[in-house]
Structure 1
Amino acid sequence: MMHLPGVGSPAVRCIRQYPDAPARSTPSPHMDLTSDQARARLKELYLARAVSFGTFTLASGKTSTYYINSKKVLFHGEAIALLGELLYQATSDLPIRAIGGLEVGAIPMAAAAAMRYHQHGRAVEGFFVRKEAKGHGSKQRVEGDVKAGDRVAVIDDVLTTGGSVLQAIEEVEKIGAKVERVVCVVDRLQGAREALAKYDFRPLFTIRDFGIPGE
């Protein structure tokens, strides 16, 4: 005789096992971390996942004996949660309405920062800047709700000479927004600070924080 759940017998719940599924990560209460704790953990993740040594050609055209592949960190759940909080802490003293930067690296960063602002009870828009305009649609380079008169923070992952973030700044200023601060995750100490001398520039780390001397 078959017993239906709730009819003369307790319900039985079947759980399907997926042996190839990755193990669940342990939730981390990043809301409760101090700035120093969040920074230390993000540094660990960068060293473990993103830093490689060898001979590399950078986006700036320079060659280097090391490379930081931030994409291996920016799409990692714990890392992006930590980064969202650190970007909030680095910009929350400003009256900004939006935060973002040049594709691709700034896209997950802007989303993480906007979400963290929301969790702290403050509304801030995320945006990104295209490297070149699309040939269809609106054809605009600044994607997101950013308009003339807005105060914004411009963000980037790794800066060498500062050329990439200056592209983003130029497009943001073209639409009449005002750049209040520039924040990057890692400054390689190869000219970005000098190129951004007219802006309030605040890296979360310099390459020396990873034990690597500037080149």
Structure 2
Amino acid sequence: MTTTDPAAEPDPVLARDIDVACRLTGAFNLRSGQVSDTYFDKYLFETDPVLLARVARQMVPLVPDGTDLLGGLELGGIPLVTVLSSLTGVGALFVRKDAKSYGTAKLAEGPPVAGRRVTLVEDIITTGGAVRAAARALRELGAVVDTVVCAIDRSPSDTSPLADVHVIVRSVLTRADLDDVFVPRR
């Protein structure tokens, strides 16, 4: 189940623009192992400076009060967290899938996380696998992680994909928002 701030109603114009730019149809294997007939190529909006800025601006009111750091998940969350950090003035972390094996051997690049409230930033959530792993890893480092802000929540509308790890999902758009503006292409 997606939780949104009442001040941050879905923007149907943004939904349409993302849908037109990013929706692909066919057979796509997802990270979760599921096969989908629709794929949102997030890199098509994340590499477009205008669309990226519009999405990040919609994320601003979704960031919970008391957030100490914004943690962007590798790779898709990195451009989003960079812009969101700039817009909010809240420091950023770049959260790796696995700690690097050389140099500082960090999982999260940026300031220390112990004792700090980290709001995760992700591009697309379907089952929440990457967010779940990041939340657990950051908690092991002493961070408080209870919220993820994402661009698109593709999970079923009647479930909370991260309830098992007590992480609330706040999304700019849901799959339903994108389906509402979908116009089949010929």
Q: CA deviation at 1:192?
A: 10
Counterpart mapping for 1:128-147 below 5 A: 128-147=94-113
Q: CA deviation at 1:132?
A: 1.8
| Structure 2 SS opposite 1:64 | strand
Q: Residue by residue, what CA displacement relative to the aligned partner does 1:55-109 show, whole Å, maximum 9, x if unpaired?
A: 1111111101010110110121111111221121111x41111112320011001
Counterpart mapping for 1:1-215 below 5 A: 35=8, 39-91=11-63, 93-117=64-88, 123-190=89-156, 193-197=159-163, 198-211=166-179
Structure 2 CA distance for aligned equivalents of residues 49 and 88 of structure 1: 22
Runs of 5+ consecutive residues of structure 2 not aligned to the other structure:
1-6, 181-186
Structure 1 CA distance for aligned equivalents of residues 34 and 146 of structure 2: 29
Choose between structure 1 and 2 for higher RCO, CA contacts under 8 A separated by at least 6 residues: 2
Q: Which runs of 4+ in 1 moved over 3 A?
A: 190-195
Task: Provide the aligned C-alpha RMSD in A.
Answer: 2.1
The aligned residue for residue 184 of structure 2 is none
Structure 1 CA distance for aligned equivalents of residues 73 and 43 of structure 2: 14
Aligned residues: 172
- Do the aligned residues in 1 keep the contact of 2:55 with 2:172 (CA within 8 Å)? no
Change (3 A) 1:146 1:44: farther
Structure 1 CA distance for aligned equivalents of residues 161 and 12 of structure 2: 28
Q: CA deviation at 1:175?
A: 1.3
Q: Residue by residue, what CA displacement relative to the aligned partner does 1:20-48 show, whole Å, maximum 9, x if unpaired?
A: xxxxxxxxxxxxxx955x83343132112
Structure 2 CA distance for aligned equivalents of residues 126 and 102 of structure 1: 11
Q: Residue by residue, what CA displacement relative to the aligned partner does 1:108-148 show, whole Å, maximum 9, x if unpaired?
A: 0100101111xxxxx31111211122221011111111421
- Do the aligned residues in 1 keep the contact of 2:100 with 2:106 (CA within 8 Å)? yes
Structure 1 CA distance for aligned equivalents of residues 111 and 151 of structure 2: 24
- Do the aligned residues in 1 keep the contact of 2:135 with 2:145 (CA within 8 Å)? yes
Q: CA deviation at 1:188?
A: 1.4
With normalisation by structure 2, the TM-score equals 0.84
| Structure 2 SS opposite 1:195 | coil
Runs of 5+ consecutive residues of structure 1 not aligned to the other structure:
1-33, 118-122
- Do the aligned residues in 2 keep the contact of 1:83 with 1:113 (CA within 8 Å)? no
Structure 1 CA distance for aligned equivalents of residues 162 and 12 of structure 2: 26
The structure with more radius of gyration: 1
